[in-house]
Amino acid sequence: MELLNIKDLATIASDDQNKKILDGLNLTINEGEIHVIMGPNGGGKSTLANTIFNSYRYIKTNGSIIFNGEDITNKSTDEIARLGLFMSFQHPVELPGVSETNFLKAIKDKKNNEHQDVFALQKEIKSKMEALNIDYDYLKREFNVGFSGGEKKKNEILQMMLLNPKLVILDETDSGLDVDAIKTVVKGINLYKNDNNAVLIITHSTKILEGLNVNQVHVLVNGKIVKTGDANLAYQIEREGYQSLLNEN
């Protein structure tokens, strides 16, 4: 079943409205699939992720986004999230004074639309932390404050596992991570992944793709998807770069 359908999407930057970023982008993702988006810097990869979430940084000038049968093109970020979309941020924020526990409880309660039993939640969080090799001590710490880059990314995956969304967008979750941390992230994705949900991975490297069952790889250049292929396309890009690929066209 079709989970995400993006048609003719075009955006400009809120703070520089002459700047076109996405320019006629089309993408369809079905349940059970893993898609990968690669592409040179500045091509619009992160913009795509944030446009789907209706970030204040971008303005849509054309196109539509249908998620799970609902038109989310003009919905607010929180409505979109509550429909079952999740993004692992490239640069997660820090929240001084907000403990990891309180943060996780707040988002989980919102998702369930009720206050969950604290002990049951604690148990659930701990089992997921264990899978991701996150120390329980982090529960008492302030959210992301003083966390290393790798710890912040694992914290994103932890939230993903806890919220169990329908579609996950991983925006360069692997960048800056060491090999072991990438393996942990992949483990998290595999624990989460099933036939009814889907993953969209934005990346520069194939490291994160090893151990994942990738269905499609898209190349995003100048705001458009210029090429789509299977997992081998990613390895070809890693070997040969984007330039030779673009010359082929």
Partner 1 sequence: MKTRVEENTTLQNIYDIKTKHEFVDKEYGLTKETIEKISASKNEPSWVLEFRLKALELFHELKDPDWGPDISYLDINKIATYVKPNSKENKSWDDVPDEIKNVFDKLGIPESEKEQMAGVGAQFDSEIIYHNLEDKLKERGVIYCNFDKAITLYPELIAKYFAKIVPVTDHKYIALHYALFSGGSFIYIPKGIKLELPLQSYFRLNEPGAGQFEHTLIIVDDDASLEFIEGCSAPGYNDLNLHAGCVELYVGKNAHLRFSTIENWSKNLLNLNTKKCIVAENGKIEWIMGSFGSKVSMLYPLSVLNGEYAKASYTLLSFAGNGQNLDTGLKVIHNAPNTTLYCDSKSISKDGGICTFRSNVYVAKKAVNANIAISCESLMLDSISRSDTIPVSNINNNQILFSHEASVGKISPDMIYYLMSRGLSEKEAAALIVEGFAEPIAKSFPVEYAVEMNRLINLELEGTIG
Q: Which residues bind partner 1 (CB under 8 A)?
A: 53, 55-56, 76-78, 80-82, 86-87, 89, 92-93, 95-98, 102-103, 106-107, 110-111, 114-115, 142-143, 159, 163
Report how far residue 103's alpha carbon sits from residue 194's, in angstroms, rounded to the nearest whole number. 26
**Least separation, in Å, of the C-beta of 132 and partner 1?**
17
Report how far residue 129's alpha carbon sits from residue 159's, in angstroms, rounded to the nearest whole number. 10
Q: Facing residues of 118 across strands?
A: none
For 183, the token pair is 């393996």
**Least separation, in Å, of the C-beta of 49 and partner 1?**
10
**Least separation, in Å, of the C-beta of 115 and partner 1?**
5
3-class SS of residue 127: helix
**Least separation, in Å, of the C-beta of 168 and partner 1?**
12
User: Is 39 or 84 the residue whose CB approaches partner 1 more closely?
Assistant: 84
User: Is 44 or 92 the residue whose CB approaches partner 1 more closely?
Assistant: 92
User: Is 158 or 185 the residue whose CB approaches partner 1 more closely?
Assistant: 158
User: Is 26 or 175 the residue whose CB approaches partner 1 more closely?
Assistant: 175
- Helix spans in 86-230 (H): 100-112, 118-131, 149-163, 179-192
Report how far residue 73's alpha carbon sits from residue 62's, in angstroms, rounded to the nearest whole number. 10
